[in-house]
Structure 1
Amino acid sequence: MEDFPNEIFYEIFEYLDLYDIYKGFYNLNTRFRDLAIHTNVLTKINPSIMSNSNFKDYYQNIVKPNQKQINFLRLINPFAINIIFPSPRTILNFNSLETLILDNLHNKKFDEFFDHFMHLPNLHSLNISLTEGIKSLYILFCQIFRLPKLKYCKIEYYSENNEEPLYIDLNYNCSSIEHLIINGPFPFNTFNNLLCCLPKLKHLSMNSIVGSQMISEIQELSPIELKYFKHISLKIDYIHFGKFEKIFKDFFHRVQTLHLTIIGDKSSLDAKQYQELITSYMPYLRIFDINHEYSIGKNDLTYHDIINQFNSSFWIENKWFFTHQHRRTLGPHTGIFYSTAPYRRKYFTYYLTLNNEVCSHIQENVNSVKHLHIVSQGIQNNVLNYFPNVNQLSIRYISKKQNESTIASLQRIVPLKQLTTLFIKYTDLPVEYLIKLLYFAPNVHTLNLIELPSSVTDLKLIKENETSKCVSNMNKIENLTIRRWITFYEIPFILHFFPKLKYLKTQILTHETRKIIRLLLSETRNRIRNLLKTTP
């Protein structure tokens, strides 16, 4: 290996994570240390999950000596942010920074950083996810709009009061942003003013536009022409479509791609009003992609009567086609209406009914789907679709009575061996079902649960189960998220059942913190001791 030219190693480094390069080559000898330090990979810092001590070592030897040349920086843990930026001003040492991604950032830390973001001369891409509820969306967006060279911005937050998100009284704070993604509740009555602040906007995605019960009025700014605005994706929650018409007319003239997800508004399922808006105000529209969920009153037209209006010549000539599903057992008065191919949808929600009535609708191509979300009170054998390329699966509302046959039915919907990420979005999960599911999905590395099964404290019984032994030995789960509280008595199950675990995100009781930490440290020492015993 010593005889290989440097160019060979530089090519190898292109396929490795920077931390792997550091751990594998840095301490071999002087030559490899120089190779690791001077590789072009050092311009991009995107560390994987690691311990606090390992990250400090990585920071001292790799990040700190090269901070002036780093142009891409992604940090996913709060302790990593504190190590690299012991004070907010130290971010100015990264004067070549172009892209900054900070996950799980505390609001106070964000406020402290922001004045210094202004002085990073090349920062054009910012991706921030905040860990705490936002008190003032006005301050948040005004800060972002002050960044003079920002082209791309993705912001993730939640409001402290989701029922009444705070207003953003924006004036003409013209931003340079071209691509904006907002993942968090955004008040509809400020949407007009937001668009007025983005004259260079090309792409906008918002995952929750909501109404508000607050009485105070906000002065609406006069619309501006968005000359470059071509792509928009919106999720609209319980807002009458009539309120949105003016936005369409004032701002969407040059839009070419429109993705709409609409919850709980019957008026948004009127084919004639869409046809009029598109014909009169959106002459460049090429892609019309809608996903609409609503239950209509039984005295109204049936759900089928309403959606059949989308079968007219206008929609056919534009090659915009649609299909639908009925949700649960509510029959023809409820449904999910959505666009079909040619759109390459990567996320798909599949509603499975308990009754045997199967509504005739267009069979669609689902080969592009990577993340499947199954919503059902029971998965039966009469499933209509198979999703061959899914690697992420979310399951919600599985009935306990269905657990015996659910896995066999799941295998008729998705290739379980292909899964790498699994979300189980319901409570009262039997431990036997979790074990069997992971047995048939051995390549899952990320698991997200609402809560642990209640019987996990009976670890002795679980260890005696042959399937459990097999799953414990072979599963590859490294990332585990449990949304609800866990107790000290559930930790042994986690340590036993997920031996390759690197990252655990959950909530624990304050008075159990010390006990849990002692148990984790003790288990770590035991594993190291056993490793040394088995090493030849």
Structure 2
Amino acid sequence: MSSISKSALQRYYKDIIIRNRHRINLLRLSNLFIYDDSAFPLFHKILKFRRFETLILDNIESYCLENLLYQLTSSPFRSSLIITSVIDNVINKNAIYRQIFRLPALKYCKLSLKGSVDPDPLPVATNEYSPVEHLIINNTVRCEQLNSLISYVPQLRRLSFYSLHESYRKQTKIYPSTLNHLTHVSLKLFSITFDQSEQLIINIFPSVQVLRITVGIVYIDSNRWKQLILCHLPNLRIFDIWLEFFIDHNNDQLDIEAQINQFTSPFWIERQWIFEYRFYQTRYGNYAIFYSTNPYRGKTYTLQKYQNKTTCLSGYETNLKSVNHVEIQSEKELINCICYFPNITKLSFKDNFTTSRSSIATILARIIPLKQLTKLDI
């Protein structure tokens, strides 16, 4: 409805929205619709619908977002807020965070805010708390902001940071939190040392049950992870790690393989925390990937170009039960594939093939149950 005319909007509201107000629980709005003078009063009426639960904001300008959040604090808005994109840079992210944490019934919040990180962290909460239980922040956050953000959400159960960076301040201390309900954590770390990550995990996530983490080469340390888990993460059930890094003269392939092979000890196998690694080449150089696999790793598996080695560290047959989508980027890797995907429903081809159709079908039948396919992308 972003470009709908005033008269058409009034008719739409009367003939469609009002007649279905008992069914409407989600509203996705763009910037033009929200701040059209004729639309804004209607928007407030929609927020008062009994079943309305979720608001999704697309392509909104930062000043409009601040005004809207201010209006929401005095409305009966409930449950979920998703901000998928902001057109311009958000100068004061702290103001946005504060307004969101004032929403009285918010349980789920997902944010993507453009712009640089605020130079000063959000003030720590003292008597103002949010009922948010699931928080996803897809914009950059620095470590010194962590203590402040989590102080507002004592009921938090799931937390995800897409881009967590090292602190502006040296030796920033991570204070113990009171997130007693937090069980699921997902972190993508940038330029953060293993020492600082340990402090973060020990002080903020001691009760975590599921830890998903994306990090760099310095984190290939089996013994250090083992001690951290044994001493400080007694409830951890799922340890899901992804490392991707450039191979240079400081870390040759043999040294990396020696480090990776330490993840085959009984400690990892007994917990069914199984890992694979790959080495691949691009025009820019050689790279390595080390990642968790069965039984809970992601739903898409890619047979990619330039891949020259894939190893399942457990020694078990590579049977990827969690995968429902296989993406084939390389004819060579398809032919050499030793994996089996019993639950696949979608298959994508992104390469030109010289092998005959009958031969391709024979190869595919070796790695997937063809009768289960419901979608084919070429």
TM-score range, shorter chain: 0.7 to 0.9
The TM-score normalised by the length of structure 2 is 0.78
The CA distance in 2 between the partners of 1:104 and 1:120, in whole Å, is 22
> Hey, what does 1:170 align to over in structure 2?
122
The CA distance in 2 between the partners of 1:170 and 1:226, in whole Å, is 18
- Residue pairs, 1:209-228, within 5 angstroms: 209-211=164-166, 222-228=175-181
Look up the equivalent residue of 2:160 and give its one-letter code.
S
Q: How far apart are residue 92 of structure 1 and its match?
A: 5.2
Look up the equivalent residue of 1:268 and give its one-letter code.
Y
Matched-pair identity in %: 31
Distance 1:375 1:170, change over 3 A: farther
Q: How far apart are residue 216 of structure 1 and its match?
A: 6.1
The CA distance in 1 between the partners of 2:236 and 2:71, in whole Å, is 40
Q: Are residue 138 (structure 1) and residue 94 (structure 2) matched?
A: yes
Look up the equivalent residue of 2:15 and give its one-letter code.
N
Distance 1:315 1:354, change over 3 A: closer
Distance 1:366 1:313, change over 3 A: closer
Look up the equivalent residue of 1:73 and give its one-letter code.
L
The CA distance in 2 between the partners of 1:203 and 1:379, in whole Å, is 37
Of 38, 41, 62, the residue aligned with 2:16 is 62
Aligned to 2:64, what secondary structure does the other structure show? helix
> Hey, what does 2:265 align to over in structure 1?
312
Q: Are residue 269 (structure 1) and residue 220 (structure 2) matched?
A: yes
Q: Is the contact between residue 138 and residue 167 of structure 1 (CA under 8 Å) also seen in structure 2? A: no
Look up the equivalent residue of 1:108 and give its one-letter code.
Y
Aligned to 2:113, what secondary structure does the other structure show? strand
Distance 1:341 1:417, change over 3 A: closer
> Hey, what does 1:105 align to over in structure 2?
60
> Hey, what does 1:342 align to over in structure 2?
295
Aligned to 1:189, what secondary structure does the other structure show? helix
> Hey, what does 1:369 align to over in structure 2?
323
Q: How far apart are residue 354 of structure 1 and its match?
A: 5.7
> Hey, what does 1:23 align to over in structure 2?
none
Deviation larger for 364-373 or 133-142: 364-373
Q: How far apart are residue 89 of structure 1 and its match?
A: 8.3
The CA distance in 2 between the partners of 1:66 and 1:137, in whole Å, is 36
Distance 1:190 1:404, change over 3 A: same
The CA distance in 2 between the partners of 1:85 and 1:349, in whole Å, is 48
Distance 1:208 1:279, change over 3 A: same
Q: How far apart are residue 194 of structure 1 and its match?
A: 2.1
Q: How far apart are residue 231 of structure 1 and its match?
A: 0.8
> Hey, what does 1:281 align to over in structure 2?
232
Distance 1:406 1:309, change over 3 A: same
Q: Is the contact between residue 329 and residue 354 of structure 1 (CA under 8 Å) also seen in structure 2? A: no
Deviations 1:396-434 (A, max 9, x none): xxxxxx6354997799488797447x7xxxxxxxxxxxx
Q: Is the contact between residue 169 and residue 218 of structure 1 (CA under 8 Å) also seen in structure 2? A: no
> Hey, what does 2:213 align to over in structure 1?
260
> Hey, what does 1:150 align to over in structure 2?
106
The CA distance in 2 between the partners of 1:179 and 1:202, in whole Å, is 6
The CA distance in 2 between the partners of 1:62 and 1:329, in whole Å, is 53
Q: Is the contact between residue 217 and residue 243 of structure 2 (CA under 8 Å) also seen in structure 1? A: no
Aligned to 2:106, what secondary structure does the other structure show? coil
The CA distance in 2 between the partners of 1:50 and 1:138, in whole Å, is 28
> Hey, what does 2:244 align to over in structure 1?
293
Aligned to 1:157, what secondary structure does the other structure show? coil
Distance 1:286 1:367, change over 3 A: closer
Deviations 1:492-515 (A, max 9, x none): xxxxxxxxxxxxxxxxxxxxxxxx
Q: How far apart are residue 126 of structure 1 and its match?
A: 1.2
Distance 1:312 1:407, change over 3 A: same
> Hey, what does 1:525 align to over in structure 2?
none
Q: Is the contact between residue 274 and residue 293 of structure 2 (CA under 8 Å) also seen in structure 1? A: yes
Deviation larger for 244-253 or 231-240: 231-240
Which has the bigger relative contact order, CA under 8 A and spacing at least 6?
Answer: 2
**Which structure would you say has the larger Rg?**
1
- Residue pairs, 1:449-460, within 5 angstroms: none
Distance 1:209 1:351, change over 3 A: farther
Aligned to 2:352, what secondary structure does the other structure show? helix
Look up the equivalent residue of 1:364 and give its one-letter code.
T
Deviations 1:365-401 (A, max 9, x none): 3343345566669866323446563548596xxxxxx
Aligned to 2:59, what secondary structure does the other structure show? strand
Distance 1:394 1:312, change over 3 A: same
> Hey, what does 2:352 align to over in structure 1?
403
Q: Is the contact between residue 211 and residue 236 of structure 2 (CA under 8 Å) also seen in structure 1? A: yes
Q: How far apart are residue 220 of structure 1 and its match?
A: 5.7
- Residue pairs, 1:422-437, within 5 angstroms: 437=378
Aligned to 2:111, what secondary structure does the other structure show? strand
Aligned to 2:14, what secondary structure does the other structure show? helix
> Hey, what does 1:443 align to over in structure 2?
none
Distance 1:91 1:375, change over 3 A: farther
Deviations 1:35-56 (A, max 9, x none): xxxxxxxxxxxxxx99847973
Q: How far apart are residue 73 of structure 1 and its match?
A: 2.4
The TM-score normalised by the length of structure 1 is 0.57
Aligned residues: 357
Look up the equivalent residue of 2:16 and give its one-letter code.
I
Aligned to 2:103, what secondary structure does the other structure show? coil
Aligned to 2:150, what secondary structure does the other structure show? helix
Distance 1:82 1:63, change over 3 A: farther
Q: Are residue 236 (structure 1) and residue 185 (structure 2) matched?
A: no
Distance 1:384 1:85, change over 3 A: farther
Q: How far apart are residue 286 of structure 1 and its match?
A: 0.9
Q: Is the contact between residue 326 and residue 334 of structure 1 (CA under 8 Å) also seen in structure 2? A: yes
Q: Is the contact between residue 211 and residue 238 of structure 2 (CA under 8 Å) also seen in structure 1? A: yes
Q: Is the contact between residue 353 and residue 377 of structure 1 (CA under 8 Å) also seen in structure 2? A: no
Of 150, 153, 157, the residue aligned with 1:202 is 157
The CA distance in 2 between the partners of 1:55 and 1:305, in whole Å, is 67
Aligned to 1:288, what secondary structure does the other structure show? strand
- Residue pairs, 1:311-330, within 5 angstroms: 311-328=264-281
Deviation larger for 402-411 or 309-318: 402-411
Of 337, 340, 345, the residue aligned with 1:383 is 337
The CA distance in 2 between the partners of 1:183 and 1:140, in whole Å, is 14
Q: How large is the RMSD of aligned CA atoms in angstroms?
A: 3.9
Distance 1:180 1:258, change over 3 A: same
Look up the equivalent residue of 2:184 and give its one-letter code.
H
